[in-house]
């Protein structure tokens, strides 16, 4: 290719303006502050109990489904889902929630 065709071709991306870069950095700062607040609150006993009660309620829902009490299983599952949403909100955000895979690994070790 000749140098004239390279210079006339346009970029496929757009450079960010200073305002956009500043806004991105401010968003990162806000995220870091939220993480710091979550670390401070992780000693709250309520937050520490959320993953434990979620595991227990999931087991209970599974047992209810096995004995054909789907109404109880569905109600329990709905409660666990709402508890999970509350735990993931800014008010009750623990440092880290236990995933289902980690829960299964912990049950296998016990």
Q: What is the mean pLDDT of residues 69-97?
A: 79
pLDDT at residue 75, as a whole number: 95
Confidence of residue 88 (pLDDT cuts 50, 70, 90): confident
Tell me the C-alpha to C-alpha distance, in Å, between residue 87 and each of 47, 54, 67, 80, 81.
8, 11, 29, 10, 10
Does residue 39 lie within any of the structural domains?
yes
Q: Give the tokens for residue 84.
A: 């999970």
Give residue 48's domain range.
17-109
pTM of the model: 0.45
Query: What pLDDT digit, counting tens, does each position of 28-63 carry?
Result: 999 998 888 777 765 567 777 888 999 999 999 999
Does residue 1 lie within any of the structural domains?
no
Cβ neighbours of residue 97 under 8 Å, at least 6 residues apart? Answer: 50, 51, 84, 87, 88
Does residue 8 lie within any of the structural domains?
no
């Amino acid at each position: 290719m000749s140098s004239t065709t390279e210079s006339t071709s346009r970029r496929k991306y757009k450079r960010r303006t200073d305002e956009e870069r500043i806004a991105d950095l401010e968003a990162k700062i806000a995220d870091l502050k939220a993480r710091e607040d979550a670390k401070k609150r992780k000693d709250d006993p309520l937050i520490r109990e959320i993953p434990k009660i979620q595991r227990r309620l999931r087991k209970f829902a599974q047992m209810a489904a096995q004995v054909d009490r789907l109404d109880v299983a569905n109600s329990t599952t709905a409660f666990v889902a709402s508890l999970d949403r509350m735990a993931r909100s800014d008010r009750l955000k623990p440092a880290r929630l236990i995933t289902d895979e980690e829960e299964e690994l912990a049950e296998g070790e016990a």
